[in-house]
Structure 1
Amino acid sequence: MITASSEHTWKQISDELKSAVGPSLFDVWLAPLKLTRLDGNQLTLEAPAASRAWVTDRFGQILKSSAQSIIGADAEVHVSAAGQDPRQSVASTESHFAAEAGSELNPKYCFEQFVIGNGNRFAHGAALAVAENPGTAYNPLFICGPPGVGKTHLLHSIADYARRHGNGVRVHLTGAEAFANEFISSLRGGDINAFKARHRNADLVLVDDVQFLMAKAKTEEEFFHTFNSLRESGAQIVLTCDRPPRDLNKLEERLRDRFDSGLVADISAPDLATRVAVLNARAQLDQIEIEDDAVVELIATRVERNLRALEGALIRVVAYASLSGRNINTALAEEVLDGLFPQKPHEPKSVKLSVEEIRAVVGEHYEVSVTELCSSSRVASVLWPRQVAMYLARDHSGASLATIAASFGGRNHTTALSACKRVEQRISEDAEQANQLRQLGDQLFKTSANTRGDRS
């Protein structure tokens, strides 16, 4: 029996909870709790069946500390589900998750397999924060970037994390195109209420490729109401798109505004270091042995912007080697890649320059001696030519980064990798420098051809 004294105590605890979590979170998750029993230091509460596991996991410690501040240090809090045995409620919500999203998850798309680089570090951090604390920050989270840079990987990683650590969080993972197709089917089939229940009764909703909502007036309208319903219920929303919200010109302004109201995290095309790391991670995951680092560097150099294409190129090289009975080396990799990812026009594969030749030409161009290029000097007049020489050696010599680095005063692989990365960044931002490097690349082959002609 609930006494007036018990009700008063529960009100005091509720006030503590509201002060601890804030009014918005309290109204969504804790206000629905009902006092069912207060026996000495034992407080028993009832939560809606759908949110019991979520409330226990997310707010269990806060519930306990708030109760202890009013009842005493030995207070204990028990949360049961309305109309359910408390021991069954967690199991039922976990199976609900499996029915909604488990079959759609790609097991390779998890945070552990995501390779972090300069272009995706911010988006990865935001995705992990949302996975750990859904609904409390970055809502909605809008991840954007060109195709093949890891947006879907992050989306699945959030769902995977919730599946493993969410203790019953209801997750709904879908794509915008699937949403549109389901919506049309539900209108024709007369089961629109079932459609709404599928997409709105969740704690964490993840929608891939929202650009496919554009120019679909009725679907946009339904998604707008779905979005609002989820926000009002306190659900976390995560969206991916191939462009920022402001560039979704054919989408209704009210939807663009809502997409832009949270955190927009963009992912750029992967740099060389990230592409190499992705290939090494994929090789390790698939237990592929590649003894020559130059093979990985060759693939990463040829495939510059799309991670799916990058991994596809690796699989193609490995498959070709297996079917032909040949070893995986740079010659085989070039043979496989030439059809799909040909070399740049100024990189004729029949001519490979030595690191020494490149070093000499670059030194002459910048009026820096080879001795200075190989020295420990880091003055700008020496550092930039050294980085350019390493960058050109990577593109034109066929030597591994370890060999290139060793040719510049015994430096290590990471130094050469860093040099290439710095040059790539600078020429992407400075058109004049990019043009100078193209001209220098052409000069390398002219000088090499003249030298070879003189020797003959």
Structure 2
Amino acid sequence: MKSISSLSDIYNLVVENYMQEYNTSTSAREIWLDTLKPVEMNGNIVVLATDIDFKLNTLNDFYRARLEEQFENVIGYPINIQFIVQSDAPAGEIPASPAKTEEVTSQIDNLVNDNKVTYTFDNFIVGPSNNLAFAAAKAVSQKQHEKYNPLFIYGDSGLGKTHLLSAIQNEMEKKYPGINIIYISAETFTNEFLHSITANNTELFDEKYRNADALLIDDIQFIAGKEQTEEKFFHIFNELYKLNKAIVLTSDRPAKEIKSISDRLKTRFSSGLAADVRAPEYETRLAIIQRKAEILNFKIPDDVVDFIATKLKSNIRQIEGVVTKMNALYMVSQIKPSIVGAQNVIKDIVSDHQPVPVTVDKIISEAAKIYNVDPDEIRSQKRNAPVSSARKVAIYAIQEITGLPYETIGKEFSGRDHSTVVYAIKNVKETMVKDSSFRSVVEDLIKNIKANQ
């Protein structure tokens, strides 16, 4: 086994040759090559440690073969490189470098965030899966909403509903300066309403919404099961409708399938035009990828475009996210777009869910709104009926969505034990069988959380 010091000398020479042979940028060297640390060399195997597991796929796919070639040029015989994560290396041999890890992640994240574009009708890709929703949204933006009021756009997450709402807002503000447009999520609407009750200023809340020239609400299904919020929204809706103000709502399902919402609201939602957005066809997916790349001034080979369009079929947000991430990797480390690279980015994008603690907090918050209690009360030892019911529903939903162990769930609720969690889940299941209204409330809560993970 060669000593670390002599292997370090060899590796330094390998890096110098690599830089000259492949005309590599200084930033790429700093991020990908300088952060590699030689661990050991046994026969023809060289072990190099990276500072973060995020880099392993890229190192294996884009750097390994070239590094092996340069090792052979330096020492005269073929070498096989094995990459490991720094924490897996023998203790004491490799100093930690958290700053470099943060630097890489920060650079890529900043580029991804900087490349977010304004949603307009011009950059919305129209296809058979969304042409009705697009045409209706554009008509609303031109104050031709009489036939479409309310416009109810529904479909799964990531298919362009938010894009259309934003496009309506941007187009109306451009065409009609001074117009009063309220664009808000149903969750924020609910929070504002509850705050107005607490602050005893519901009159100001009413005035704000009743003075709107256009009301655009995203994810309206979030008000389902929240009786006070539903009641308030019903009256605001009626007032605006009578005044012929534009109302556009989006949901992850048709109005009739929002089980725990009142029938009179379902009737209002269905009284105008319901337009669905579906998963885009292959040709539309190709156009989305090409358009996103064009906006970023980023050239992607046709075979890579085809690969992305074939692999990602049901979520436009993910499709655009892959293009944005590949562009960021190219900008940071000069990794050219390829099928292998696209495959790795797709894997990262598809598995990028909210962390469990965020999900747990959202579930408890939603249960609190349904039962009109405080989230802290749900976590506490309080046992009055509304708090107890909200707690059981939250426990059931957390187990359904996150799959956390019972002991871990119990810790979220003032350290309740395993048997208490089991009882709560069993109780909710039994009540759902007996009470269809209760079942609808619980199912809607779970759907809402999953749709926004």
TM-score by length of 2: 0.50
Asked whether 1:312 is paired with 2:325, we answer: no
Give how far 1:272 is off.
1.1
Q: Distance between the aligned counterparts of 2:149 and 2:280, measured in 1?
A: 26
Helix, strand or coil at the partner of 2:207: helix
Relative to structure 1, the CA distance from residue 149 to residue 336 in structure 2 (aligned partners, 3 Å threshold; closer, same or farther) is closer
Q: Which runs of 5 or more structure 2 residues have no equivalent in the other structure?
A: 1-115, 352-453
Q: Distance between the aligned counterparts of 1:308 and 1:328, measured in 2?
A: 19
The answer for the alignment partner of 2:299 in structure 1 is 289
Report the RMSD for the aligned CA atoms in angstroms: 1.8
Q: Distance between the aligned counterparts of 1:272 and 1:122, measured in 2?
A: 18
Give how far 1:330 is off.
2.3
Structure 2 counterpart of 1:171, from 181, 185, 207: 181
Helix, strand or coil at the partner of 1:238: strand
Helix, strand or coil at the partner of 2:184: strand
Per-residue displacement from partner, 1:205-242 (whole Å, max 9, x unpaired)? 11110010111010000000110111112211010000
Q: Distance between the aligned counterparts of 1:214 and 1:143, measured in 2?
A: 17
Helix, strand or coil at the partner of 1:173: strand
Q: Distance between the aligned counterparts of 1:158 and 1:178, measured in 2?
A: 19
Structure 2 counterpart of 1:266, from 268, 271, 276: 276
Q: Distance between the aligned counterparts of 1:240 and 1:289, measured in 2?
A: 34
Asked whether 1:211 is paired with 2:226, we answer: no
The answer for the alignment partner of 2:247 in structure 1 is 237
Q: Distance between the aligned counterparts of 1:341 and 1:218, measured in 2?
A: 37
Give the number of equivalent residue pairs: 236
Q: Distance between the aligned counterparts of 2:333 and 2:218, measured in 1?
A: 39
Q: Distance between the aligned counterparts of 2:222 and 2:274, measured in 1?
A: 18
Helix, strand or coil at the partner of 1:112: coil
Give the AA of the match of 1:316. Answer: K
Asked whether 1:198 is paired with 2:214, we answer: no
Q: Percent identity?
A: 38
Check the 8 A contact 2:321/2:349 in 1, yes or no. Answer: no
Give the AA of the match of 2:156. Answer: P
Give how far 1:336 is off.
3.6
Q: Distance between the aligned counterparts of 1:223 and 1:154, measured in 2?
A: 22
Relative to structure 1, the CA distance from residue 293 to residue 245 in structure 2 (aligned partners, 3 Å threshold; closer, same or farther) is same
Give how far 1:202 is off.
1.3
Q: Distance between the aligned counterparts of 1:335 and 1:107, measured in 2?
A: 24
Relative to structure 1, the CA distance from residue 340 to residue 142 in structure 2 (aligned partners, 3 Å threshold; closer, same or farther) is closer
The answer for the alignment partner of 1:132 in structure 2 is 142
Give the AA of the match of 2:162. Answer: T
Per-residue displacement from partner, 1:324-344 (whole Å, max 9, x unpaired)? 4332222332344356669xx
Helix, strand or coil at the partner of 1:109: coil
Q: Distance between the aligned counterparts of 1:336 and 1:219, measured in 2?
A: 40
Relative to structure 1, the CA distance from residue 216 to residue 341 in structure 2 (aligned partners, 3 Å threshold; closer, same or farther) is closer
Give how far 1:185 is off.
0.2
Relative to structure 1, the CA distance from residue 330 to residue 261 in structure 2 (aligned partners, 3 Å threshold; closer, same or farther) is same
Asked whether 1:328 is paired with 2:353, we answer: no
Q: Which runs of 5 or more structure 1 residues have no equivalent in the other structure?
A: 1-105, 343-456
The answer for the alignment partner of 1:250 in structure 2 is 260
User: Which one scores higher on RCO, CA 8 angstroms, separation ≥ 6?
Assistant: 2
Helix, strand or coil at the partner of 1:181: helix
Give how far 1:295 is off.
1.1
Check the 8 A contact 2:318/2:349 in 1, yes or no. Answer: no
Q: Distance between the aligned counterparts of 2:151 and 2:279, measured in 1?
A: 20
Helix, strand or coil at the partner of 2:183: strand
Per-residue displacement from partner, 1:332-376 (whole Å, max 9, x unpaired)? 32344356669xxxxxxxxxxxxxxxxxxxxxxxxxxxxxxxxxx
Structure 2 counterpart of 1:182, from 179, 186, 192: 192
Asked whether 1:150 is paired with 2:154, we answer: no
Helix, strand or coil at the partner of 2:247: strand
Q: Distance between the aligned counterparts of 1:277 and 1:194, measured in 2?
A: 45
Relative to structure 1, the CA distance from residue 271 to residue 230 in structure 2 (aligned partners, 3 Å threshold; closer, same or farther) is same
Check the 8 A contact 2:322/2:342 in 1, yes or no. Answer: no
Give how far 1:304 is off.
1.1
Give how far 1:285 is off.
1.4
Give the AA of the match of 1:320. Answer: L
Q: Distance between the aligned counterparts of 2:346 and 2:255, measured in 1?
A: 36
Relative to structure 1, the CA distance from residue 140 to residue 335 in structure 2 (aligned partners, 3 Å threshold; closer, same or farther) is closer
The answer for the alignment partner of 1:337 in structure 2 is 346
Give the AA of the match of 1:138. Answer: Y
